[in-house]
Amino acid sequence: MHIMAVWVYLIYFSIGLAVSMLVAFYFPQHTEIFTEENGLVESIEAILYVFSGIIAIAAAIFTKSKKYVPLSFSILGFLLFMEEISWGRDMLKYENFTFLRVRIDSAHDFVEIVLRTFDTYWYWHKPFVAAALLLIFVSIAFILIRKLKLWKNIFSFNAKVFLIIIFFMFLFSSIIDSRIIRFSNFTSADMVIFEEYFELSASVAWALIAIELLQKVICVKTIKQKLKSFLVRYKRPETGT
């Protein structure tokens, strides 16, 4: 995948952010496009994660080595899909477990529970807890990437950029969802719009990484096949002595 994909993504993100701001400030009657449970935006996110999971499986089938990379990416894609559909709550019609008035239907709800606990008993600790959780997450990710040498040996430039983008999109979404930072000029509905848009942007970047994983394998495989065919076709016959 050419570096142009990064620029196309950045253009998409800028336009999408502008549309989100227009809806939040000038067209609030269309807020449900972003905020509706299993609505348009959430449905697109779910489709992109399923798509990335399937594409990553295809990449794992074609690749000859380090199959754990696309397989892991595929599993994460399907898990994120389950997150988007609230683990089948609406389809299976079951009641979610509630703790500290937080309805648990996704993984980030556990972070909200931790923050709400500190918000209830030690309010001034809340920013420090959020910073500590972020530091722990970044440290674990850094250790795993460094240990497996994923950053240097496996991921391309585009994939690295998209992984960084995904990290910040999820970070911004979590900050909004946990209400660590509040803006007086934004209503709760406005914040949900931006939260969902950041999550949508993360799903787009995730799908682009999956496409690159498959494209990398397919391109290399195709080149090898064509080269082998060329050599076989024009190989000189051996002459006996």
pLDDT in tens, 155-208: 677 888 888 899 889 888 877 876 666 666 777 778 889 989 999 999 999 999
On whether residue 233 sits in a domain, the answer given is: no
pLDDT value for 144: 59
In a domain, 234, yes or no: no
Of the CA atoms within 13 Å of residue 166, those in its CB half-sphere come to: 18
What's residue 53's pLDDT?
Answer: 92
* DSSP code string of 30-67: GTHHHHSTT-HHHHHHHHHHHHHHHHHHHHHHH-SS-T
Residue 235: inside a domain, yes or no? no
Task: Give the per-residue pLDDT at 147.
Answer: 58
Residue 241: pLDDT band (50, 70, 90) is: very low
> Cβ-count burial of 162 within 10 angstroms (0-12 exposed, 13-18 middle, 19+ buried)?
buried
Domain-located, residue 125: yes
pLDDT at 14 over 90: yes
Question: Is 238 inside any structural domain?
Answer: no
Q: For position 37, what pLDDT does the model report?
A: 75
pLDDT at 40 over 70: yes
Query: How open is the CA angle 31-34-36, to the nearest 5 degrees?
Result: 85
Q: What is the mean pLDDT of the chain?
A: 76
Which of 145-154, 192-201, 221-230 shows the lowest mean pLDDT across its residues?
145-154
SS3 175: helix
Name the residue type at position 64: K
The Cα diameter of the chain in Å comes to: 92
Q: Domain of residue 194: give its range.
A: 4-222
Q: Note whether residue 161 is domain-resident.
A: yes
Domain assignment present for 228: no
More confident residue, 15 or 172: 15
Residue 89 DSSP SS3: helix
Q: How many domains does the chain have?
A: 1
> Quick one: pLDDT at residue 186?
73
16 pLDDT above the threshold of 50: yes
Q: What is the pLDDT of residues 90-136, one digit of tens each?
A: 655 556 556 556 565 565 665 666 666 666 555 555 566 666 666 77
- The arithmetic mean of pLDDT across residues 24-35, rounded, is 87
Report if residue 62 sits inside a domain: yes
Q: How many CA atoms lie within 13 A of 46 on its CB side?
A: 14
